[in-house]
Every structure is written in structure tokens, then in C-alpha cells.
A and B are shown apart, each in its own frame.
Chain A
Amino acid sequence: MLGAERAFCCAGCEAVARAIAAAGFEKYYEARSATGVRPEALPPPAIYDDPAAQREFVAAPLEHVREATLILDRIRCAACLWLNEQALRRVPGVLRADVNFATQRAQIAWDPRATRLSAILEAIRTVGYDAYPFDPRRSDALVRRERRRALWRLFVAGFGAMQVMMYAWPAYVDAGMGALTPDAAALMRWASLVITLPVILFSCGPFFSGAWQDARRRRISLDTPIALGLAAGFAASAWATVTGRGEVYFDSIAMLAFLLLGARTAEMFARHRAGRELEHLARWMPSFALRLRQGASERVAAHALAPGDLVRVGAGERVPADGEVTEGASSADESLLTGESRPVAKRAGAALVGGSVNLEQPLTMRVTRAGADTQAAAIGRLVERAAAMRPALVERADRLAQLLTYVVIATAALAWAASGNVWVAVAVLVATCPCALALASPIVLTRAGAQLLARGAALTRSRALEALEGATDVVLDKTGTLTQGKPAIARVVLLAAEDEERCRALAAALESSSTHPLARAFRSVGHGPTVRALRNVAGLGVEARIDDRLVRIGARRFCAQIAGARSVKPNAQVYLAEKGRWLAAFFIDDPLRPEAPAVVAGLQAVGLRVHLVSGDAPRIVGALARRLGIESWAGAATPQDKLGYVSRLQAEGRAVAMVGDGLNDAPVLARADASVAMGAGADAAQLQADLVLTADRLGALQDVLVIARRAMRLVRQNLGWALAYNAIALPAAALGWIGPWEAAIGMSASSFIVVLNALRPLAKKETWKSSTSSSPSRSLSYS
């Protein structure tokens, strides 16, 4: 008997089975484990513990932390998310678990010393869901299956509703005339019953199984009122048909099912669409790469690449991993990662970002990071994690939706008791739409994350959207934020009758191997003169022989040793001298980002107060602040001073958005209400900020604010609409003013409106990225 039960096993039975196993009867199941596998056999979770298998989907940000993305199956509504989160969080050793509605994925972090991935997957199966580690191909199959099943359910409900309506029509027309013989009327009723049966059993299956699963756990979900309404209506009608007494409303039931499923299907399409916007992050990486090994090339899977491999990237192809160019010269389009569409020149030694497109000439590259370690993968994980974490406003809405469900069921019971008419209760159960409260914000959040990324800003925590929207003050750091964070030669003063170009070339040649921070200012790609006997003198500079002359670059006293003591202009940072004479003095500066003035002006134009706080000398900071029109500024600020500055503003009741380079400002960023870090991809995963400007482009800040405001406005509109609708619909249905079919139309329309609203553009100008990225495959399949 137990064996037979297990053969028809649903998720619910499985949970029971597990409870039995936990009670100490697991020996029995051990013997039976071969029959326990469900038709769609999953690989035993234990294989996911294999480090080789984990390489694909598990990241290790810290030594004792592992992160992975799981695709969850059988998720239907916000209540499921809650349950999965709870189940995951209860596993000992799980550090974090967040579930994303739009992509049906869970972001989890765990301590490998305390638990294993297979144990975490088991925990999800225990509560009646399924999880697979994220793998894009698997997700596709999942989406297709969900789509087909939803359309099939919708079709059965829609077609059934039409047909039942035809059988009901004679009864409506005939009402009281007596032309319809009792036998014919009974025939119509039975025909209606036969057709409504699959509509209820098959099309409405998700409502019932959802409600049933929650009932078993003594909880109520958004499915519960709908399932109760449909069941009550169908049972009453079926009883009337069998006994031949009373009214039948099969037409209402079938149409109800059709409209509800219509709303649910629309929501599913919207969810897939929002998920796709994020999905294309995961597809930045091509599947295959041409690996060079001992002169021969072989085609391998991109994720099989390892650091150190040599890879050939043809013109027009995507770079399969992070790495650097070893051979060839070309340019690359890195817009997917940075939002910057201008091609970037690439020559030998230049860094290549996985997922960017090699535009002109074939390149040979050496892989530095592959697979899940690449920048693109890291950013994709960050953004996905952000979409999974909900802002406080949305968390409150979810709790409200839960509460509303109880109110609805209580009201329905009261209305039934008071009116004695089951149809009033059905109307109440169906009319209210707590779904709208829970549905639409995840879609908005996922889209906001994807659209921000397209503009070069990776949202790592969704709460930042709320905080950015409410920010009144923006505190900017100087170095690396307003300035480019990399030194450049501001001015060259020639001290001898030498050509400036030659002095620069000499300096570049000398500094080419130096690790001093200022040396970066001299780097150039061109070929300099040949250098011999290069010698680094720590803290002073570099000397070498060029064209048989001794040349030095570095501190003044270092150069003075060979140039003679003749006094020179004293306040440059770097000097160049050769035996017997001074050549040049270099003034090094960290140049202002070209877009900085416009960004500051733009922030001020939308009513934000802009502050400048920097560790640099007050004189420099003050000058910069005046130049940018910033009134409040502070110089010579230590990290503690910066923290104090932000805390003071917050004490005045201001909401502060802090923009910094993300490494030195970590404590301040953590203190601010919203934190933005400038970061060129590589560090994105380490930066402790809500939002990382991956393009290293300050201009993205304005887009970020626009999108944050717009996204939060959409969320608010949706919540407001859902609340208003329910406030009207609930009492109206309870008083019997609206019938079941009107209730169904109202509920469906409400869901539609919320979903459509969530799909409105978030920024004035939509980028074409998502469409262009998918067009190659489209044209291929077309031809």
C-alpha cells in the first residue's frame, strides 16, 4: 500500500513521507529509494556537492561562504516565496536566502563547514517544491513547459466557458416560458457539468493544489479564497444537477476560471519578460571558445576554460572569458558591461572583459578568469540578488496581502451566513485581489535592476531604490568619484632645450616597469627608446641608460645627484634628468571626470543638496567645490570625519546618498541611507555598496536617480490601486451588489492593470540592448 501511494506521489505526500522518515522509520524508505524517484528524474542532489560540478554555479566570495542561485519550481505566488525562504533559512548553516519572484530563483549563501548544497536542495523538496542549481538551458526548458501548460489551461477554460454559455443560453431565454422541456433542461445541465469538470479539475488545478498545500501547513495563501470560491460554486451547481433541484451556475464558474487564468497567464508572461531582461546577463558568455594548445586549436565549452588558457577570438565574436590580449590589435564593444557604446581599443596587454564583442581583427587572449569567476557573472549574481531582496515598502505590502486574505475568507463566511446565498460568498472570495498587492512590485524591481545595468549601474540591494528615491542630500567623495582616480600628467615644464615629446617618451620608458602610483601617469602604449641597466631605487625613482646616457626620473633630490645642484622650479612631483642637466619637471594631477560638472548641476537641478567631502587638502577641495558650485564641503577629512559628516546630516533628518570609490569609504557607505560606489567591474563583488557604477562613469548617477524614482512610483501606484480596488470590491461583494462573474471581471482587470503598469518604461529612452542582443539568434533561426 505504501508502495502504491508513493507511485502517485505528489509534493504533499512527499512531505508526509519525510515527516514519517524523521520520526525514525527512514529504514523503510532507504530500502524503497529506487521507487521514490518521480517520473521527471532529478539527478541525486549529492552530485551537486562535487566541487567540479559546483564550479559552474557556486561562487565563493569568502573562505567559508558559498553562494549559488537556485531555480525554484512550482512557485505560484508570494506565499510560496515566503515558505521557500523560511525553509531555506531554517537549514543550519544557511547564511542568507532570498527568493526572486520574477525569475523564480533563490539566492542562497551558506557555510560549507556547516551544511552542503544537497542538504539545502533537500530542504526545498521537503516543503513540496523543487530546486535546481541555475543553468541557463535548464531554465529555458522550464519556461517553455510553464508556458505550454498555462496556455493549455487557459484554452480549456476559455473554450469550456464558451460552450457552457451556449448550454446555459436556452435556460436564460426560456426563463418561465416553459418551451424548454424538463428533460431537455436536464440534458443541458448534464452537458454543462461534463464540460465544466475538466475546467475545474484541470484548468483550475493550480489554484486547488496551491490552496491544498497551504492548508496542509495550516496557512492561507492567495490561492485559498479563489479555490474556495470555485469549489463552492461548482459543488452547489453539481448538487443541483444531480438532484434536479436548485439553480446551476456552470457558466459563471467556467467564465470565472477563464478570467482568473487569463490574469494569471498575463502575469506569467510579464514575469518571464522581466526575467528575460535579467536573463540576458547570463547569456553574455558565448557557449564555446576556440582554445589554442600547442599550435592547434580546439573547440571547447566556454566554462571549461581555465586561467592561463590561450583563446582565439574572431572578429565579431564574443570574448568567452576575462583575460588579456597576447596578440593582435582590435577594438571591443563593452557596452553590455559598462553601458558605454564607444568601442575600446585593444592591443597586446590590454584587458578583455568576458561578454564584450571583438569588433575588428582576430585576437589571441590569455584567460585570467573564466566561467562563474568572470566580471559579467559576478555582476549578474549581484543584480539577481538585489532583485530577490525586497524593499521595506514591498515587504509591508506582502504582509498586508497575507492579512487581507484572512479578512476575505472571514467576510465570505459572514456574508454566506447572513444572506444564506452561497453565490454572495463566491463573489466575495473572487472579487478581492490581494494578488495585486503581491504581484506587481517584483516585476518592477526586476526590471529596474536590468535597466540600471544596461546603463552601467549594478543594483546590489533593492532597498537602494527606496533610499535613492527619498534621498535629500548627495555626499560626493573626490578622489575616484569626481576625479578619475588615476593620475595623469597635467603639465610638463621643460628645463632644457629638449623636445617635449622626447621627454615624455624618456619618462615613459623609465617608468614602464615602475610600480609607484605616480608611474601610472606616464604609461603610454607607444614604443619608447630602448632602455638598458634599469634600476629601481625605492622611494626615490628609477634610473637607466638610454642611448648610452644615464637618465633618472623621480624625486628632485634623486635627480639632483646627477643633474647638478642648480635650483629648479621646486614644486613639481616628478623630475627627469640626465647626466649633467635637468630635462623636465612633470606636474601630476588627478583629472576631474569630464562629466562631473554636468552631473553636479543635474543633481542640484532636481532639488538635491550636494556635498563634497574629501581627505585631500582643504585648499584643493575648496577650489573644486567652488568650481562645481557645491556650497557645503569639507577637506582633510579622515574616514571618521566622513562618517561624522554623514551622521550629522542624518541627525538633521536628511536622507543621505553617499557616492564614493567603495574601497576606502566602506564605513561611510554602510552608514549612508543609500550608497553608490564607483567601480570598474572587477571589484563590483567586493564593493560594499547598494549600487555599483560598473561603467566607472559618473553620468550614470542621474539615470540611476530617474529610474529609482520611476520604479518606486510604479510600485506605489500598484499598491495604491490594489488597495483602492479591494476597499471598494470587498464591501460591494459582501453586500451582494456584484455577482460572481462581475467579481471575476473586476479581479482580472485589477490584475491586468497592475501587471501592465509594472511593464511601463522606467526611463524616457529605452535602450535597444535587449533586442539587439537577441537578434543574432533570431535571424539565424529565421533563415
Chain B
Amino acid sequence: MEILYLLVPLSVALVFLIGWVFWRALDGGQFDDLERPAHDVLMDDDK
């Protein structure tokens, strides 16, 4: 059970790390337009 004392704080750290990664993505504008990607699929642009 001792491993819990390592894993639980580790998971807490991980939560904050993932939160930070998400913030970077958000700040980079990845979620600014959630409608366009859906349309992009339909627009053939393979040229």
C-alpha cells in the first residue's frame, strides 16, 4: 500500500500537468472554431 503515497501525489501532479497542456492548446486557438473542422471534412482539397 505504500506505493499509494507515491502514486496519489503523482496523479495530482499529472492533473495539473494535463491542465497546463490543455491551457496551451486553448491559448493557441485550437478551440476557437469548433464548427469549421466539421466542414473541412466535406471540402475536398487533395490537390
Interface positions of A (Cβ within 8 A of B): 144, 147-148, 151-152, 155-156, 159-160, 163, 166-167, 181, 184, 187-188, 191, 194-195, 198, 778, 782-783
B13-47 toward A: CB 8 Å interface, digit per residue (1/0)?
Answer: 00100110011001100011000100110010100
Q: Does the CB pair A148–B12 fall under 8 Å?
A: no
A selection of 24 A-B contacts at a CB cut-off of 8 Å is A148-B26, A148-B27, A148-B32, A151-B26, A152-B23, A155-B19, A155-B22, A163-B11, A163-B12, A166-B11, A181-B1, A184-B1, A184-B4, A187-B4, A187-B5, A187-B8, A188-B8, A191-B11, A191-B12, A194-B12, A195-B12, A782-B36, A782-B40, A782-B45
CA separation between A348 and B8, bound complex, in Å? 79
- Cα A166 to Cα B12 in complex, Å, equals 11
On whether the beta carbons of A159 and B15 are closer than 8 Å, the reply is yes
B-to-A contact residues, CB < 8 Å? 1, 4-5, 8-9, 11-12, 15, 18-19, 22-23, 26-27, 31-32, 36, 39-40, 43, 45
Contacts of A156 in B (CB 8 A): 19
Q: Once the chains bind, are A778 and B39 in contact (CB under 8 Å)?
A: yes
Q: Is the CB of B32 within 8 A of A144?
A: yes
Closest A residue to B39 using CB positions? A778
B1 partner residues in chain A, CB cutoff 8 A: 181, 184
Count contacts between A and B, CB distance < 8 Å: 48
Bound-complex Cα distance A163 to B8 (A):
10
A188 to B12, CA, bound (A): 10
> Which listed residue (B5, B9, B32, B36) contacts A778, Cβ 8 A?
B36
Given contacts A148-B27, A159-B15, A159-B18, A191 and B8 within 8 Å (CB-CB): yes
Q: Given the complex of chains A and B, what is the CA–CA distance between A778 and B39 in angstroms? A: 10
Tell me, in angstroms, the Cα distance from A782 to B45 when the chains sit together: 9
**CB closest chain-B residue, reference A164:** B15
A146 CB to closest chain B CB, in angstroms?
Answer: 11
Dominant SS among interface residues on chain B: helix
Closest to A273 in B: B35
Q: Which residues of A contact B8 (CB under 8 A)?
A: 167, 187-188, 191
Give the nearest-CB partner of B8 in chain A: A191
Complex Cα–Cα for A195 and B40 (A)? 37
On chain B, the residues within 8 Å of A147 by CB distance are 31-32
Are A159 and B19 in contact (CB-based, < 8 A)?
yes
Residues of A within 8 A of B5 (CB): 187
- Complex alpha-carbon distance, A194 and B11, angstroms: 11
Measured CB to CB, the nearest residue on chain B to A781 is B36
Taking the closest CB of chain B, its distance from the CB of A273, in whole angstroms, is 10
Docked complex Cα distance between A163 and B4 (Å): 15
Whether B15 pairs with A160 at a CB distance below 8 angstroms is yes
Question: Which B-chain residue is minimally distant from A783 (CB atoms)?
Answer: B45
Closest 6 CB pairs of A and B: A191-B8, A163-B15, A155-B22, A191-B12, A151-B31, A148-B26
Chain A hits for B39, CB < 8 A: 778
Across-interface contacts of B4 in A (CB, < 8 A)? 184, 187
Min CB distance B40 to A, Å, is: 7
Residues of chain A within 8 A of B23, CB atoms compared: 152
Contacts of A160 in B (CB 8 A): 15
> Contacts A144-B32, A782-B40; is A152 near B9 (CB within 8 Å)?
no
A155–B27 Cα gap in the complex (Å)?
13
Q: Enumerate chain B residues within 8 angstroms of A166, measured Cβ to Cβ.
A: 11
Residues of B within 8 A of A195 (CB): 12, 15
Measured CB to CB, the nearest residue on chain A to B4 is A184
Give the shortest distance, in Å, between A634 (CB) and chain B (any CB). 53
Cα separation A159 to B14 with both chains bound (whole Å): 11
What residues on A are CB-neighbors of B12 within 8 Å? 163, 191, 194-195
A148-B31, A187-B8, A194-B12 given as contacts; is B18 within 8 A of A782 (CB)? no
Nearest chain B CB to A254's CB is how many angstroms away?
11
When the two chains form their complex, are residues B19 and A782 in contact, meaning their CB atoms are under 8 A apart? no
With the chains together, A147 CA to B39 CA distance in Å?
A: 20
A167 to B5, CA, bound (A): 13
**Chain B residues with CB below 8 A from A148, complex form:** 26-27, 31-32
C-alpha spacing A411/B23, complex, angstroms: 39
Contact (Cβ within 8 A) B26 A152: yes
The answer for the CA separation of A151 and B9 in the assembled complex, in Å, is 26
A191→B23 CA distance, assembly (Å) = 22
Q: Which residues of B contact A155 (CB under 8 A)?
A: 19, 22, 26
**Shortest CB–CB separation between residue B32 and chain A, in angstroms?**
6
Residue of A nearest to B34 (CB): A269
Nearest CB of chain B from residue A277's CB, rounded to whole Å: 14
Complex: A147 Cα to B43 Cα, angstroms: 26
Complex: A151 Cα to B19 Cα, angstroms: 12
CB distance from B6 to the nearest CB of A (A): 11
Q: A184-B1, A191-B12, A194-B12 are known contacts. Are A782 and B43 too (CB-CB below 8 A)?
A: yes
Given A159-B18, A783-B45, 11 more contacts at CB 8 Å? A144-B32, A147-B31, A152-B23, A152-B26, A156-B19, A159-B22, A184-B1, A191-B9, A191-B11, A198-B19, A782-B40
Q: Which residues of A contact B43 (CB under 8 A)?
A: 782
- Give Cα A79–Cα B23 distance, bound, in whole angstroms: 31
Which residue of chain A is the closest to B31 with respect to CB atoms?
A151
Give, as a whole number of angstroms, the nearest-CB distance from A248 to chain B. 15
Cα A159 to Cα B12 in complex, Å, equals 11
Least CB distance, B47 to chain A, in whole angstroms:
10
Residue of B nearest to A180 (CB): B1
Closest-by-CB residue of B relative to A166 is B11
User: Which residue from chain A places its CB closest to the CB of B9 in the assembled complex?
Assistant: A191
Q: How far is the CA of A568 from the CA of B4 in the complex (A)?
A: 113
- Complex Cα gap A187–B8 (Å): 8
- Nearest CB of A to B4, in Å: 5
- Residues in A whose Cβ lies below 8 Å from that of B18: 159
Chain A residues with Cβ below 8 Å from B26 are 148, 151-152, 155
In the bound complex, CA of A148 to CA of B32 (Å): 7
Among A144, A160, A187, the one with the most B-chain Cβ atoms within 10 Å of its Cβ is A187
Q: Which residue of B lies closest to A179 (CB)?
A: B1
Alpha-carbon gap, A167 to B10, bound state (A): 13
